[in-house]
């Protein structure tokens, strides 16, 4: 049923937001939510590319987990799917922030 389909996705996104809050508190600071990604700049990698590398890692893991059970039991395919979606949302937020700084206009999302 469509309602179940939408409810499942809503629950997935809600858990993603919760996870982003927790991980960002662990990896970054209140003043600099991009702190962990900016470390890549020390080796000449732009933030956007650093995020994409993490997405590609998650896609590789998803592909592997579709074929076989993972050895790391506390990193399920659901966890990996959520991480992948979160990295894409983080990239979206980063690109929006850059655009806002460049143009001075707030980018309204959906």
pLDDT, one tens digit per residue, over 34-83 is 999 999 999 999 999 999 999 999 999 999 999 988 888 888 999 999 99
pTM: 0.89
Report the 3 state secondary structure along the chain: CHHHHHHHHHHHHHHHHHHHHHHHHHHCCCCCCCHHHHHHHHHCCCHHHHHHHHHHHHHHHHHHHHHCCCCCCCCCHHHHHHHHHHHHHHHHHHHHHHHHHHHCCCCCCC
In whole numbers, what is the pLDDT of the chain averaged over residues? 92
């Amino acid at each position: 049923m469509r309602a179940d389909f939408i409810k499942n996705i809503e629950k997935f996104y809600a858990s993603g937001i919760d996870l982003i809050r927790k991980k960002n508190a662990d990896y970054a600071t209140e003043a600099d939510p991009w702190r962990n990604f900016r470390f890549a700049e020390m080796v000449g990698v732009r933030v956007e590319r650093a995020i994409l590398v993490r997405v590609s890692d998650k896609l590789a893991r998803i592909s592997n987990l579709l074929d076989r059970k993972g050895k790391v039991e506390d990193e399920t395919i659901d966890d990996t799917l959520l991480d992948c979606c979160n990295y894409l949302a983080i990239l979206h937020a980063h690109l929006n922030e850059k655009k806002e700084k460049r143009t001075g206009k707030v980018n309204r999302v959906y």
